[in-house]
Amino acid sequence: MIPQHPHKPPGMSRRDLLRAGLAAGVTLSALPLAHPPTLWGAEAGQPRRGGVLRVRGYDPVHFDPHLTTNFKTHTTLSFVYSKLVRHKVGAEVQPGTFIVEPDLAERWESPDDTTYIFHLRQGVKWHNKPPVNGRELVAEDVKFSFDRFLTVEGNPERQLLESVDRVEVVDR
């Protein structure tokens, strides 16, 4: 008797192998869902201060937000730098909307079309390293950052604030 397909090896067909691989992949990908408390950290206990946050992301070339428009750098920096205001994020924010909310400022007011007065949040402190040594954030720090933004050589976003006439520092 002559086999009908002499070049076909006996055993599993390619289609059967692909089906088995797909079934195994689906089964293995759903396995962590069998123990959701472990997956979502319910067994970790109460949060505690300190530690290391590891985030999958990009290694920025530098940590100076005034010298780049690169989203990879700014995404990484968003985990370590605060701003006067920020875009609100979270499940309740509809995609495509950009709601501005306070960050370092607790509130702001605009007495006219060209004036904004920011009221800084109380108790915000710098990290405990020289030269700031854990001191509280003051209006002069904000003015310094604003002035640096306009004068640092190589800032690709300088034109965003060039039209501002002046920045006044008002004590609390």
CA dihedral over 128, 130, 132, 135, signed as positive or negative: positive
Angstrom CA distances, 116 to 12, 126, 145, stand at: 73, 24, 16
User: Under 8 Å CB-to-CB from 31, ≥6 apart: which residues?
Assistant: none
Q: How many CB atoms lie within 10 A of CB 145?
A: 14
Nearest to 144 by CA among 170, 114, 167: 167
Say whether pTM exceeds 0.85. no
CA distance 31 to 142: 50
Strands 100-102 and 105-112 turn out to be unpaired
Residue 36 is predicted with a pLDDT of 57
Residue 151 is predicted with a pLDDT of 92
pLDDT in tens, the chain (172 residues): 555 655 655 677 878 878 888 888 777 776 666 655 555 555 667 778 888 877 777 777 888 889 988 888 888 888 888 999 999 988 999 999 999 999 999 998 888 888 888 999 999 999 899 999 999 999 999 999 999 999 999 999 999 888 887 777 675 6
Beta strands in the chain (DSSP E): 85-87, 100-102, 105-112, 115-120
Residue 99 is predicted with a pLDDT of 94
Residue 3 is predicted with a pLDDT of 57
Residue 53 is predicted with a pLDDT of 73
